[in-house]
A and B are shown apart, each in its own frame.
Chain A
Amino acid sequence: MSAPAVARTPAPRVRRRSPYTYLAVVVGLLVAVSLLEVVTGADDLTSSGTISATLVATVPIALAALGGLWSERAGIVNIGLEGMMILGTYGAGFFGYHYGAWAGVLGAILLGMVGGLIHAVATVIFDVDHIVSGVAINIIALGATQYLASRTFVGLPGGGSTQSPTIPSLPSLTIAPVSDGLQGLEQRNVFVISEVAAVVRALTTNLSALTVIGLLLVLVTYLVLWKTTFGLRLRSCGESPVTAESLGVAVLRYKFVAVLISGAMAGLAGGFLAMVASSNYRDGQTGGRGYIGLAAMIFGNWRPGGMLAGSGLFGYTQTLGLRSGRDSVHALLLAVAVLALAVAVLQLRRRHVRAAIGFAVAGVVVGAVYFAIDEVADDFTRMTPYVITLLVLGLFSQRLRMPAADGESYRKGSAG
C-alpha cells in the first residue's frame, strides 16, 4: 500500500476556498471546453445529452466515493464498496419491483447497510484486516446476489436468473418551457452561451429525483463531517483514535456508525445504477464502479468537493467515450496536449528543468498524435477515463493526504 508512505510526508496547508472560487472554476471549465469545441469541431463535447449522461454516470461513482469517504474518515478502509453496491442493485430490484420505486431506494440502502454491517462487525469489533474483510464482502455479495436473483426473479415477467423485472421509475423533473425554449439557443452554437444553455437544459430535462438526492448527499456529507461536533469526532477517529478516546470519544461506536453509513451510500449507488442509469437489476452491472469510486475519493484527497470533481471527470470522459467517442476523445487529445505544455511552462518558471522537458515532450507528442489522426480507435476511447485519471493523479498525487490512522487496527482502551 503506497498511501501510508504518502501520509508521512508533511501535510500541505489547505487553503480555504470561497464558493466563488468553485463557481469561477466551473465557468472557466465551461469556457475552456467551449473553446475546445470551436477549435476541434467536436460538437458533442457540451451537448445537453452529454451533460445529462455525464450526471447519470457521475452520481453512482460519487455515491460510492462518499461511501468510501465516510468509512475512511473514521479510519476504516473500505474496499468492499463494490460488493455493497452489488447488494444495492439487488435491493433496488427486489424491493422496487414488489413495493414500488421509493421502496426500491430504501431496499438498496438497506442491503448496502447489510454489507456495511458485515464490514463493521469484522473490522471494528473483531479487528479483521480491513482489506481482507472488504475483499471477502465483494466475493460474498456477488455470490449472494446471484443466488438470491435465481431464487426470486426467475418466473417473474421479464425476470430471470441474471436480471430482475423492470423496476417502476422514480419521479423525474422536466421543466418543458425552459427545456424547449433553450433548445434553439443550444443548437445555434453561440460561443459559451450555447454551452450554458446546454447545461441548463440538461438540468431541466428528465432530471431524476435520485440524481438530485445524490448530489445533495455530497453537500450533506460535507456539512455533517466538517461542520458538526459529530463530524469532528468521527474524523478524529480516523486521524488519531488514541487521542480521541482519551478525550472521551466512543471511538468504536463512531467507527461502527461510519461504516454503516458507508454501506448505505454504496448501496444507494447500486440502487441508482439499477433504477436511474438503467431500470432493472442486472448481474454484473456495477462493472467495477465501486473501485472507481474509491479511486475518485483518493483523487479528491478524502474531501467531498475533490471527490465530486474526480467522479465528474471520470463520468464525463466515460460518457464521451461511449457517445461519439472517436471525435470527442480526439478533441480531448488537444486539451491534454495544451495542458501538458502549460504545465511545462509552469515547471520551467519554477526552474524544474527536467520536469518541464518531460511535460513539453509529452505535450508535443500528444499534439502530434492529435494532428496525425482524425479519430481515435474504440480500443482507446474505452481507456480514456482510466488514462485521464492516472494522468491527473500523477500530477497531483504528491499533495494527497489520507486520514493519519486510516486502515490501522484499533483496540478499545489503546489510550491506556
Chain B
Amino acid sequence: MAALLAAGVMSLGALSACGSSGGSDSSGSGSGDGLKVGMAYDVGGRGDQSFNDSAAAGLDKAKKDLGIETQESEAVDGEAESAREERLRTFADAGYNPVIAVGFAYSASVAKVAKEYPDIDFAIIDDEEAKGDNIANLVFAEEQGSFLVGAAAALKTKSNEVGFVGGVETPLIQKFEAGYVAGAKAVKPDITVDTTYLSQPPDFSGFGDPAKGKTAAQGMYDKGADVVYHAAGGSGGGVFEAAKSANKLAIGVDSDQYKTVDASLRSVILTSMLKNVDVAVYNYLKSASEGDIPTGVRRYDLKVGGVDYSTSGGQVDDIKSKLDDYKQQIIDGKITVPTKP
C-alpha cells in the first residue's frame, strides 16, 4: 500500500506536469515602437498578493511610462522543468526581448534557454545561479530589510524573546533569518530568537500551509515570544492568526501586508519587510529601453530602495528614528549584515 501511495503521488506530479502548459494571457500592447517584453511568472501569477504581483506592478508601470509591449504567462504548481523552458522559448521565438523570469524556480531553465538564444536578453528574479552574457540576475538584499524588522522586533519586545517562522529552509529564506537575528541582536545582544521552518526542500508545502504556520507561531507565543516574523509566503496568514489569538505581534514580508490582510488582523502587524520587486523590474526595463541592457548580478539593497520596512498602521512610528539610523549605518557600510545564519 505504501508503494502504491508513492506511485499515486508521483504520477499525480507527473501527470499534472504534462497535463497543463500554463495559461498565457495576452495583455494587449503598448505604443509599439518600444520593447517587446515577455514575463514568465512563477506559480500563482498575477493576483498572488506576493512577489508575482509585485513584478506585475513593475511591468505595468514600465508599460505606462515607457510605452512597451508586453506578454505574460504563468507557471502551474508541480510542472516539469521542460514546461518552464518551453515557456521561455515561446517568448524568444515570438520575438520578445527581453524575457523576464520571476522566481528562482526558473534558474536552470533560464541558464539553458539563454544559451540557445544568444541574441535575446533574459532577466531572472531572486536567483544568482543562472549565469551568462545575456542574463541579468535581479537579486535583493533581503538580509538588510530583515535586519531592520529584527531591530524593530527587539525594540518592541517586552519578554526579550522574538521568533522567526521560515516557509522552506532554502538558502534564500535563510537570508531572511540571518538578517533578522542579526538585527535583533544588534539592539539587544542577550535576546532569545526562536527560529523554525515549516518544511524542508524539496517539500515546498511550507509556503502554502497556513495551518502549519499557525501551529508553529502559536508554539513560539506560548513559549514567551511576543513578536514573530514570517518569511513563509502563504503560510504567513496562519502566523497572523496565531498572533491575533495570543494578542501578540507579527511582522509581514515581501509586500506591505498591513494593506492586504483581513481588516481584523491589521492590529497585529507591527511592520513588514518590503521587497520591492516592482522597483527592480521597472529599473531593468528602463535601462533596457534606453539601450543599456543590464547583465550579471544586480543587487537591490537598502541603498537603491530594493528592500525596506513598512510604516503603515503606525506601530513603528515611535522607533522610526532608531530604525532609520540603522538603515543609514547599513547603507554607509558601517554594519555588514550576514546572509547565512
Residues in chain A within 8 A of chain B (CB atoms):
1-3, 44, 47, 49-50, 53, 56-57, 60, 79, 131, 134-135, 138-139, 142-143, 146, 150, 154, 157-158, 160-163, 165-166, 206, 273, 277-280, 282-285, 287-288, 291, 294-295, 298, 319, 322-325, 378-379, 382, 393
Interface pair B209/A287, CB less than 8 Å apart: yes
How far is the CB of B268 from the nearest CB of chain A, in Å? 13
Interface string of B275-290 (1 = CB under 8 A from A): 0000000000000000
Residues of B contacting A49 with CB < 8 Å? 218-219, 222
Write the nearest CB–CB distance from A69 to chain B, whole angstroms: 14
In the complex, chain B residues whose CB is within 8 Å of the CB of A3: 1, 4
Question: Among the listed B46, B208, B220, B245, which residue makes an inter-chain contact with A283, where contact means beta carbons less than 8 Å apart?
Answer: B208
Does B234 reach chain A (CB closer than 8 Å)?
yes
Shortest B235–chain A CB gap in Å is 8
Q: Flag if A285 contacts B208 (CB, 8 Å).
A: yes
Residues of B within 8 A of A (CB): 1-5, 8-9, 11-12, 15-16, 19-20, 43-49, 53, 76-77, 169, 194, 196-200, 203, 205, 208-216, 218-220, 222-223, 234, 237-238, 241, 245, 260-265
Q: Are A382 and B200 in contact (CB under 8 A)?
A: yes
Contacts of A44 in B (CB 8 A): 219, 222-223
Q: Which residue from B43, B209, B219, B237 sits with its C-beta under 8 Å from A323?
A: B219
Q: Which residues of A contact B263 (CB under 8 A)?
A: 157
CB-CB under 8 A for A160 and B47, given A49-B218, A279-B241? yes
Give min CB distance, B228 to chain A, whole Å.
13
- Chain B contact residues, majority secondary structure: helix
Q: What are 15 A-B interface contacts by the 8 Å CB criterion?
A: A53-B219, A79-B5, A135-B15, A138-B8, A142-B16, A146-B77, A154-B47, A160-B48, A160-B53, A161-B46, A287-B205, A295-B2, A323-B216, A324-B219, A382-B200
Given contacts A162-B44, A165-B262, A319-B215, contact A139 B5 (CB under 8 A): no
Contacts of A284 in B (CB 8 A): 77, 205, 208-209, 234
Contacts of B4 in A (CB 8 A): 1-3, 79, 131
Distance A408 CA – B219 CA, assembled complex (angstroms): 45
Q: In the docked arrangement, what's the CA distance between A157 and B265, Å? A: 13
Nearest-neighbor residue (CB-CB) of B262 within chain A: A166
Alpha-carbon distance A356/B213, docked complex (angstroms) = 41
Are the CB atoms of A283 and B44 closer together than 8 Å? yes
CB-nearest residue of chain A relative to B44? A162
Q: How far is the CB of A156 from chain B (nearest CB, A)?
A: 11
